[in-house]
């Protein structure tokens, strides 16, 4: 298959370009498109044959359910059999935006979309390209992140092509995504509702509207690794062995410096992925190490700007992993706001190698 790449203005998408992608969707083809969180790999959610192509293209196990994207909150009842008041309140407050809500499903949603679960995950994205695409296609769009299974989610069309060129019919290139991390998932099929995945909408924001939402993710690193049903086998696995440091900034920096020294002395090629402040603090140590071996460093945003840290995280992770380092040492930015989602993604990439300091 040849992948067609169509450039599109993220602010004012050309209707002729969107119509080309929308007609591909209606014809049962795969279309990758930008959302405000990450790029999605879309298919007509009501067409089981089209949905099957998503799993094949990604190499994703059929046991991992997909998010169904709808154009506006009015389409909720097309897909969900029951919408509790608290779910409606959350949707009204934060849609369109980086929020996904799990509700009991209607029979017209194919079982392949929900991996046989009686519930469906629903999201109204705010990105103009995504919204125009759904409106023109006239169907709900099932879309996981547009990466190969176990790769970091794509925040640019180049990331999508690196993973899926030749496996997707159309890629809409609307430039880099704004938020950079996937949506926050809240499950309303249980009481009290549970945050299944931290993401672009913070827990603090959710609690201003629905205070009863609970999460296991702020009870320590064990719980941070907890994931939504179907996500158990899924984590971002860089080629290099990633270790995550979690604690006060000064102590993380000390430990990273010490471990970088030990590893470099053993002949390992070390990469450091950290917010800018940590890399500045590490600079004298890195200068000393340069005499022994090369250490790759990549910043992701800043401790004082969590939005930028989230936006840059996946691109920096892909980038540092492509430099053929054997080890990546990563520092976290705390648990406030978007820090929780950053910590979750890095914990999964670390696959259990989390050093509490």
Which position has the token pair 């083809």? 29
Is 177 a binding residue for ligand TXA by CB under 6 A? The answer is no
Least CB distance from residue 193 to ligand TXA, whole Å?
Answer: 12
- Give the C-alpha separation, 115 to 94, whole Å: 26
Is 158 a binding residue for ligand TXA by CB under 6 A? The answer is no
Residue 12: count of CB within 10 angstroms of its CB: 10
Which of 101, 185, 253, 282 lies at the binding interface for ligand TXA (CB under 6 A)?
185
Report the half-sphere exposure of 86 (CA within 13 A, side-chain side).
19
Q: Which does 237 bind (CB under 5 to 8 A by kind): Mg ion, ligand TXA, none?
A: none
Report the half-sphere exposure of 186 (CA within 13 A, side-chain side).
30
Least CB distance from residue 217 to ligand TXA, whole Å?
Answer: 14
138-170 per-residue burial string, b: 16 or more CB within 10 A, e: under 16: ebbbbbbbbbebbbbbbbbbebbbebbeebbbb
How buried is 319 (Cβ within 10 angstroms: 0-12 exposed, 13-18 middle, 19+ buried)? middle
Least CB distance from residue 249 to ligand TXA, whole Å?
Answer: 28
Least CB distance from residue 298 to ligand TXA, whole Å?
Answer: 23
Least CB distance from residue 146 to Mg ion, whole Å?
Answer: 9
Which of 183, 202, 243, 331 lies at the binding interface for ligand TXA (CB under 6 A)?
183
Q: Answer whether 210's CB lies under 8 Å from 86's CB.
A: yes
- Give the C-alpha separation, 186 to 193, whole Å: 7
Residues 195-234 that bind ligand TXA (CB under 6 A): 196, 228-231, 234
Smaller CB separation from ligand TXA, 241 or 351:
351
* C-alpha dist (Å) from residue 160 to 68, 86, 197: 19, 35, 22
Number of residues binding to ligand TXA, judged by CB under 6 A:
28
Residues 142-161 that bind Mg ion (CB under 5 A): 145
Strands (E), the chain: 4-7, 31-33, 40-44, 67-69, 99-104, 119-123, 141-142, 170-173, 184-187, 194-197, 241-246, 270-274, 295-299, 327-331, 354-356
Is 100 a binding residue for Mg ion by CB under 5 A? The answer is no
Residues 37-76 that bind ligand TXA (CB under 6 A): 37-38, 40, 64-67
Q: Which does 37 bind (CB under 5 to 8 A by kind): Mg ion, ligand TXA, none?
A: ligand TXA
The residue sitting closest to Mg ion, measured at its beta carbon, is 145
Smaller CB separation from ligand TXA, 120 or 338:
120
Stretch that binds ligand TXA, among 47-55, 81-89, 143-151, 339-347 (CB under 6 A): 143-151
Please provide the distance, in angstroms rounded to a whole number, between the alpha carbons at the two ends of the chain: 49
Is 35 a binding residue for Mg ion by CB under 5 A? The answer is no
Stretch that binds Mg ion, among 41-49, 137-145, 251-259, 317-325 (CB under 5 A): 137-145
Smaller CB separation from ligand TXA, 92 or 232:
232
Residue 241, helix vs strand vs coil: strand
What is the phi/psi pair of residue 40, to 5°?
Answer: -110, 155
Positions touching ligand TXA (CB under 6 A) are 35, 37-38, 40, 64-67, 100, 102, 114, 117, 119-121, 123, 143-145, 182-183, 185, 196, 228-231, 234
Which stretches of the chain bind Mg ion, using CB under 5 A?
145
């Amino acid at each position: 298959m040849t992948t067609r790449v169509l450039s599109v203005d993220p602010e004012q998408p050309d209707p002729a370009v969107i119509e080309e992608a929308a007609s591909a969707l209606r014809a049962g083809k795969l279309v990758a498109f930008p959302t405000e969180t990450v790029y999605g790999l879309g298919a007509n959610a009501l067409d089981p044959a089209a949905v099957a192509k998503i799993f094949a293209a990604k190499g994703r196990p059929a046991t991992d359910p997909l998010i169904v994207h709808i154009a506006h909150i009015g389409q909720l009842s097309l897909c969900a059999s029951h919408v509790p008041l608290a779910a409606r309140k959350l949707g009204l407050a934060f849609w369109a935006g980086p929020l996904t809500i799990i509700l009991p499903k209607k029979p017209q949603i194919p079982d392949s979309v929900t991996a046989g679960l009686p519930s469906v995950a629903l999201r109204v994205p705010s990105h103009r390209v995504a919204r125009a695409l759904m409106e023109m296609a006239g169907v709900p769009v099932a879309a996981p992140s547009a990466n190969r299974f176990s790769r970091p989610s794509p925040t640019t069309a180049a990331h999508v092509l690196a993973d899926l060129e030749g496996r997707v019919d159309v890629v809409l290139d609307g430039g880099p995504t704004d938020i950079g991390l996937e949506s926050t998932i809240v499950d309303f099929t249980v009481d009290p509702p549970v945050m299944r995945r931290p993401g672009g909408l913070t827990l603090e924001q959710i609690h201003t509207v629905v205070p009863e939402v609970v999460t296991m993710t702020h009870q320590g690193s064990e719980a941070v690794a907890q994931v939504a049903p179907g996500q158990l086998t899924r984590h971002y696995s860089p080629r290099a062995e990633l270790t995550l440091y979690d604690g006060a900034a000064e102590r993380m920096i000390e430990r990273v410096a010490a471990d970088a020294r030990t590893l470099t002395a053993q002949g390992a090629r070390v990469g450091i992925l950290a917010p800018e402040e940590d890399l500045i603090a590490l600079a004298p140590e890195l200068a000393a190490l340069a005499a022994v071996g090369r250490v790759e460093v990549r910043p992701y945003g800043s401790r004082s700007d969590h939005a930028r840290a989230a936006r840059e995280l996946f691109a920096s992770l892909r980038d540092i992993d492509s430099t053929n380092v054997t080890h990546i040492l990563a520092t976290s930015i705390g648990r406030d706001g978007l820090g929780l989602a950053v910590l979750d993604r890095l914990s999964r990439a670390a696959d259990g190698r989390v050093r509490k300091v």
